[in-house]
Each structure stands twice: as structure tokens, then as C-alpha cells.
Chains A and B, each alone.
Chain A
Amino acid sequence: MIRAVIIMNDEGKPRLVKFYDHQPMEKQQEIIRSIYGVLCSRAENVSNFVQADSTFGKDTRLVYKTFATLYFIVIFDDSENELAILDLMQVFVETLDKCFSNVCELDIVFNFNKVHTILDEIILGGQVVEMNSSEIVKAVNDISGLEKNQNSILRVSKSISGWQGR
């Protein structure tokens, strides 16, 4: 099972935080800080895997990948395949890229709730829902469309720009 998905930038600022087994907020922040501590001190040419036993218990591992200024981090237990998780991250990033056409850090900052919706189409309850990025994009677009239609009826919702912002 996947325990958490975290996106943070190279200064350690969280950009997306999703825990699949609940952690109190203070603990979340502590975990984010400790992960950042580990990642920023890792050398360039080393593997993408880190043993995460100390924060998440026995046999948990952490896979990270850097994309431009962002760290994408997935924490999972021994029922998942590390190499497959790397592919999963690739799918996630590809999907973000399609949804935001050339995604950058700012897109994720300002549209964090859309990123959450995308992630929810990929992972549900710590399990992978879908690995086909065009299916994911389609589902996300359907939801956006639905939201837009509802917005045009509803008076106030114009102000939540998260969706139409782009």
C-alpha cells in the first residue's frame, strides 16, 4: 500500500501533501522536514530509493524523483514494487503535464486542489486506480467540465479561480 505522496520544492516547501494513513498535522510537518533533510543531502548519482523505516515503520521505503525544482516523493510498504512506483511517478508527472500543458511549480502551487483531484484519479486509499494517463486526463477533464457548468449556474463560484485559472 502507498502510505503517502508528497511534492515539495528544492527548498523543502511542501506543494502537495497526501497521507493515506492519517497522521496528525504536527507529525506530517515533521515527516516532511525529515524527508527534506534526507533528500537534500543525497548525492547526485545514487539510487532513488531510501529506507523509511524510522518514520513509517518496518519495511517501508521511499522513492523520490526530481523534476526541475520539485521532488516527487512516494512512501510505500513492502507490498509494492519499487521500480513500478517509479513508473507510477512518471505517469503522474505525465498526467500533470497534459493537464497543465508543460507543468511547472507555480501551476501546482496555485492549483493544488486540481492536483489533488488528479492524484485521486490515480491513487485511491493507497492503491493504484489507474495507470493510463489518457484515461486519467479524460476523467479530470470531465470533472472540470462538470464544475464549469455548475459554476455558470451558481452565482458565487466564479471566484474560485482554481479551476478556470488556466
Chain B
Amino acid sequence: MNPFSSGTRLRDMIRAIRACKTAAEERAVVRKECASIRAAVSDNDNDYRHRNLAKLMFIHMLGYPTHFGQMECLKLIAAPGFPEKRIGYLGLMLLLDERQEVLMLVTNSLKQDLNHTNQYIVGLALCALGNISSAEMARDLAPEVERLLQFRDPNVRKKAALCSIRIIKKVPDLAENFVNPVASLLKEKHHGVLLTAIQLCADLCIVSEEALEYFRKKCTEGIVKVLKDAVNSPYAPEYDISGISDPFLQIRLLRILRILGHGDADASDFMNDVLAQVATKTESNKNAGNAILYECVETIMSIEDSGGLRVLAINILGRFLSNRDNNIRYVALNMLMKAISIDGQAVQRHRATILECVKDSDASIRKRALELVYLLVNESNVKPLTKELIDYLVVSDQDFKGDLTAKICSIVEKLSPEKIWYIDQMLKVLCEAGNYVKDEVWHALIVVITNSSNLHGYTVRSLYRAIQTSCDQEAVVRVAVWCIGEYGDLLVNNVGMLDIEEPITVTESDAIDVIEAAIKQHTSDLTTRAMCLMALLKLSSRFPSSSQRIKDIVNQSKGSLLLELQQRSIEFDSIIGKHQNLRSALVERMPVLDEASYSGRRGGSGVSTSGINNIPNGVVKIVDAPLVDLLDLGVDEPAPPPNSSSGPNFLHDLLGVGADISSSSPQSGGRNTMHGHKSGTDVLLDLLSSGSPPAPAPAPATQKSSSTSDLLSLTQLNNNNNNNKPSPSPSPFSGLDTLSSPLPTPGASPMMDLLDGFGPNPTTPPPPPKEEDNGRTYPPIVAFESGALSVMFNLSKQPGSPQITLIEAKFTNKSSQVYTDFVFQAAVPKFLQLHLEPASSNTLPGNASGSITQKLRVTNNQHGKKSVVMRIRISYKLNNKDMLEEGQISNFPRDL
């Protein structure tokens, strides 16, 4: 005997595996067992074969490969003894599947066993065939199975019936052979046989239209009678499940009736009575009873119309909704969802109960109920339903608010009977859950507001009230700020007062207070603050007397670290202070936004290309720039033709400011050529690059490849080094640049005035960088780029020590979010030495509006033989979530 196969008993192996403390230990035990089983397999060991296979099944369950045991299954099945066969078939079902060729070899054994005199062996073979039969096996063995449908022992008959299901699913052509045997099985009294016969009958009806017709004609009556007996039968303890006699049989009967009745009025008519009996007589205090009722409802819903029954069915579901058992409520909601398309009116009657389920403690039930309510809303009930939902919004779970607001907004948008109601409801939602609404929602609200000119006054006053109480909800703040900016005069003068309004006195300074509070609030993000600045600019024209105060507030943002705010602040300050004559035209009320194009865009393809082309001046708006979003509403309106009056044109240009970082204006010559390239460079850099005389007009800005080491990028690098810390002086014209650039003939435009204060002469070349004196410099390389984050390396050498490279890493973040806790780590191979100096900061502002720099010193001990490589790892927090980026830098210049 093989020394390995003396082995352990199954029980001992399981014990050994259970005793393992670690996965590695477990693997070791399994490996050892598998080795000894393999040895036994190759020795063709007969004595322990079924024990080994039992072990393999356990090992398989744990997820280890066991293919080498497949042939053992076949050998065991071919063995004469029952225990061997049993384990063999078990292994066959667990370890093999129908696609494996080995399976073909088992057909013969199966055939013999199906004809065996021992009914248990026949049972084993039927079970295996029913679980794994392939089409070939089904064809070969169908006659045997068909014969076994008439076997004397009921246990064999029922297994043969289920085995037939597998056969007809694999080979639908064989269905007709089974129709007659099934018809006789349906007359059986034995519950188990009847149950399986009904299942076979149902599957026959599914695969074969002829079988369906046959059973519909010949068997409907019989099945109805069986069900009637089951419903009315006296208590039968052996099939009892919690007091209901054989619920599973009733469920199967109801299911076959559903198949027979579907699409056939006569058959449906025939079963109406018994369905009504089931629906009324079944007790609903136990799960088993409810299972029957549930199946019965589904059948009633599927068969041909009988109004009375459907109402009965939906009422059962209504009762389910108030059941204490979560499962029952869950299935009832699922079913009502299907029923709503069949009989919406009947479902409507249970609206109140469904609404209660929206408040359920079980999240999956809440979610379904909300979906159902959404389907139930129509013009006639939208008001009370919305009120209920908004009332619930106040107290709902935090994690449910997102879904709930989305649905409420969608309902209100879709079905609002009038604009004032829409605006009211949206304000309520924003006040309760403004932080959960998507941007499109409040954008849409603004579109509606601009379109309802008679409600401007009402809306701005409502928003003024709302922002007093809900200043923590960002969306409210934004909409309010926008409206106060647009309609501030209506707010102060109480224009367009409606009868329902309570009078309110708001002074100019109150209105400005609100915006000042919003801009100063620490939770306000960049978008909100930028909107505040815009609103202030508008108010400066609406409230000329408060102009000075507004100017002061605007000025406070001049020192903002966020470039966008700084830029706006400086521009707007200049407009308020120096261009009174221009201001009122600049900040005219926004033209009415076109609802149709807005909703069309939302439904369709994002920003349509025509929208981009329409914009004059070649300002290309990049969709994903967050600030475009802010004033994106401008894109919706068809751009005014270039020859229209200057007012809207200026407005447009102002809107364009937001997109400045990512916009480019090909017509405007060298000044703007760098705009819009994805090099991640600063706007400042672009500006100054215009000052470098040798710059070719269409500057190649692909800084990714270090090969473009032309003069341009060199100067850029230098500019970059010199101007890393934004000084206030160059930034005004970075903004003005964009303001003016869209105008093809700057001289003719009054906007050129804005360029006064244009301090340093743009043609003066920037001072040469220090590094150049000390040693070699290299073109900067983009060392790493991932999503919004990019890392640029400026490389230089100290004279006299060629093996030392100084690297200045510069990190920029083009996303709208600020990265905090920013940590950069690097690792190098052994032939390099790396020294990292502390970083300039650990907070990286968004929108590429700032950067972190960090110096590295790399010493290459094999200078000249090997080039520098580096692995980097960057970790930071985005919205308090830990983020990690990793990468390898291998695009260093060769001779470092």
C-alpha cells in the first residue's frame, strides 16, 4: 500500500484544518492532504478512494483546486457498492460541470444505475442527472427517465419528474414526449409527486407552446379542483407548516394557474372562483399563509382581467403594508410596483399606507416605497404628496436625504401646476436639504425664476427670508445670493408684492449684509464666494448709494489665496471704482434664460457643441471646469450675435472670466496662446511667457516630453521660479487679459481702459534665474500626472559636482477641491542617495491656484553609467478622505 495514502480519516483532516490558526497553515495542511490524495490517485488505490473523494469535496468547498479528483468520481460511480456510488455521485455534482468532457464517460454508468434494481441507486442517478445533465446526456437518457415517471416508488417518480425538467430545458424538442406522462401524474394523490409534476408541467408550458395549449385545455379543470381541495381540506398534519396545509403545493398550483390563465380569457374565467376562495380563506397571520396570498395576488395580476379580483388582490397588498413583518412589507411593495401599470387606480387607494412605508425603519423598504410613491404621483395628488414628503424630509435619516430630495425635486419639476408652487416647494427642499441637491436642480430653479418675471420680487423676498434661517445649506445660499444680486432692487423696494405675502422691510444694507455674511461664512466654497462677489458687483449698480461699502467688501478678497477670488475681486473693484459709466451696462439684469434649451441640454448631451461654437470671440469653455458651472447658465442662452448691442456682449465676456483658466483665444495672438493647454501651468506663467521675445507664435506647450527643451520652456521655467508667489501686481492683467482678449479690435473698445495701470513693460525679459549662474539647468519635466494632480520637476546641477542633482518639485492641483495633509514621499534604488527638504506647505489649493514646492537632492553614485529613477508616493486628504497616488518616474534626462 502506498505510504502516503495510509493518511488520515476525513474527520481528522477536518479537525486539522479547523485547528489552523492562519491561512498559511491551512494551505499547508491542504497541500499535504492533496499530495497524498494525488499519490493515491496515481496508484489507483481502491480501498481509500471514496474517503479521498470525500476529503476532496471538503477541500473544494474551501476553494482549493481539485480537478485531479474528477476521474475518481467516475470510478466510484462505476463501483458496485452503495457507499461508493453515493460519494461518487456527490463528487460528480460538486466537482464537475456539464462542459467537461469527462462527463461523457459517465453516461453509461448513469444508464445502468437508472435501470438498477435498488431504488436508492436509481434515486442517486436521477439526482445527479437532474443537477448536471448536458444536452447529449439528456438525449441519451431521456427514455429511461420517461419510464421512471411510472416507477412504483413515489420517491423515484418525483425525482424523475424534476430530472425531466433539466432534460426539457437542455433539449426542448423532447418536451412532447413528456406531455402525456405529466398529464397522468397530475392526477396523483401523493403530495410530493403532485408537487413535482406541477413544476414539470409549468416548465413544459414555458418551453413548448403546444404543451401549454394541451394543458390549458385538458388540465385546467383538474388543477383548479386540486387547489380547491387543498384550500378546503381538513387539517393534514404531515404537510402542515405552521397551521397551513401544504402551502408549497398551493403556491405551485397558483403558479401553474398563472401560466395557464395568462393570455387566455376562458381559462382565466375558470379559475376566478378558486382564486377568490384562496384570497379570502387563507389566514394571514403566518408567513406560510402570506406566501400563498402573495402568490395568489401575483396570479390574479397576471391572468386575464377580472376587475373585482384585482381590487381584492391589491387590498391584500394594502394589508401587507401594515404587517409588522418587514419581509411582508417588502414583497408587497415589490408587487405593488408591478401592479401599478395594471391597475393604477386601485393602488392609489393605498397611497397613505405606502407613504407611511417611506418612513420605515428598514432602508430597503423605504427606498422601494419612495420609488412607488414617485410612480403614484400625478397632477391631481402632487400637492398633498409633495407636502408629506417634504415634511418627512425634515426628520428623515441623513443617508436617506439624498434619495429623498432627488425624488422630490424630480416630482416638483415634472408635475408642478404653477410656477409659484414650484418655487415655494424648491425653496422648502433647499432649506431642509440644500446640501443634498445636485447642481442641476438649483440651476433649473434659477432658470425658472428668471422666466417668471411677475414672481421676481416674491422670490427674492422668500429667498431673503430663507437665507436667514438656512444659511448652512449651500444651495439656498447660492440661489439667494444670485437672486439678490439680480433682483436686489425689487427686494428693497417691495416691488411686485403678492397678496399672500407678509410685508417685509429690507434696506439696502440688509441685503448687502446677507451677501457679506455668505462670503465670510467659513463653509462657503469657492463657487459660492465667487457668486457673492458677482452679486456684490451687481448690487453696486443697483444700490449706487452703498457703492463704497460694497467696494470695501469686494476689496477684502483681494488678498485671497484662491486665484479666482483674487482676480474677481481686483477686477470688480476696478469696475466699481473707475468705470461708473460702464458699470450699469455691464451688470444689467441677466436676459431670460431659455427653459427649453436648458431642459433639452439636461436631457441630452451635456453642453452641445453648438453651444460652444455660438460663443463669439473664440472663447472655448471647457465643460468640467468648476467655475464654468457656476455661470454655466450663460451657456444655455443662445449667445447673442456679435453685432448686437454691447450690453449682453459684455455680460457674456464677464461670464467668460470664470472659464479663463481653461479658455484659449486663438485670435488674440501670442498673449493667449498658452491658455487652455493641459500643461498645468499657472496663468501667471502664461502671461509672462508673452514677454519672452523668441517665443514662436503657436507655442508648443506639450511639456510632458522633456525633449521640447527649446528656449521657450526654459524661459517658462525661469518665469515660474521667479513668480511662484503671486504678487498682486501682475494678476490684474491676467484677468483683464481675458476680458479684453475676446475683443478683436481692442483699440475700439472701452474695455481697453481697464488695461490702465498696466505697470511693468511686457517686453522686458524677466531677470535671469540664479541657477543659471551656478550650473547647468535642464528643461522641467512633468514627473507625474494623475487626474487633477500634477508634479513638475525643475532639475539643476551644482557646478563641480555632476553627480548631485537638485530637484525642485512643484505640485499643482487642477481640481476644484483643496487637498490637505499633502505629503510627498520618494524612494530611489541603492545607487542613488536622496535627501528631501521640507515642503513649502501641506495644503494644496484647487483650480491650480497655488502650488507646493519641495526641494530634493539626488546623488548618483554611478553617474554616467546609470540614470536616475525614482518611485514616488503622494498622500493627501480630499474632503477628509485619505487619497494615495503612487508612480514611478523614469523620464529623467539621461545624464543626471
Contacts and interface: CB of A to CB of B under 8 A. Distances in A.
Interface of A: 14, 16-18, 20, 22, 25-26, 28-29, 43, 45-50, 79, 81-84, 86-88, 90-91, 109-110, 112-113, 116-117, 120, 124-125, 127-132, 134-135, 139, 142-143, 146-147, 150-151, 153-157, 159-163, 165
A128 B199 contact: yes
Contacts of A14: 61-63
Interface in B837-885: none
A11 B115 CA distance: 45
A165 B90 CA distance: 19
Given A46-B363, A150-B81, A124 B127 contact: yes
Interface string B9-46: 11100100010000000000000000000000000000
Contacts, number: 180
A154 to B, nearest CB: 6
B294 A83 contact: yes
Contact of A84 (B51, B99, B247): B247
Contacts of A146: 82, 118, 120
Contacts of B365: 46-47
Contacts of B118: 146
B576 interface: no
A125 B130 contact: yes
Interface string B100-132: 000000000000000000101000001100111
Given A28-B63, A47-B365, A112-B58, A83 B287 contact: yes
A128 B515 CA distance: 69
Contacts of A131: 195, 239, 241, 246, 248-249
Interface residues of B, number: 74
A116 B53 CA distance: 14
9 contacts: A22-B132, A46-B365, A47-B364, A49-B327, A130-B158, A135-B238, A147-B86, A156-B48, A161-B10
A124 B133 CA distance: 12
Nearest to B200: A127
B57 interface: yes
A124 B128 CA distance: 8
B364 A82 contact: no
Contact of B165 (A26, A49, A125, A135): A125
A6 B11 CA distance: 21
B581 interface: no
Contacts of A142: 120
B329 interface: yes
Contact of B241 (A90, A128, A165): A90
B340 to A, nearest CB: 17
Contacts of B362: 43, 45-47
A143 B326 contact: no
Given A48-B326, A87-B287, A113-B90, 17 more contacts: A22-B99, A25-B65, A45-B326, A49-B327, A81-B298, A83-B288, A83-B291, A84-B251, A86-B291, A87-B248, A113-B87, A124-B126, A124-B131, A125-B163, A127-B130, A132-B191, A132-B239
Contact of A86 (B120, B159, B327): B327
A125 B162 contact: yes
Interface in B326-362: 326-331, 361-362
Given A14-B62, A135-B192, A117 B90 contact: yes
B524 interface: no
Interface in B295-327: 295, 298, 326-327
Given A14-B61, A125-B166, A159-B51, A20 B131 contact: yes
B50 interface: yes
A129 B248 contact: no
B120 A125 contact: no
B98 interface: yes
Nearest to B328: A83
A47 B9 contact: no
A134 B158 contact: no
A161 B50 CA distance: 12
A139 B60 CA distance: 27
B9 A159 contact: yes
B329 A47 contact: yes
B47 interface: yes
A87 B247 contact: yes
Nearest to B237: A134
Interface in B347-400: 361-365
A154 B131 CA distance: 29
Interface in B186-241: 191-192, 195-196, 199, 238-239, 241
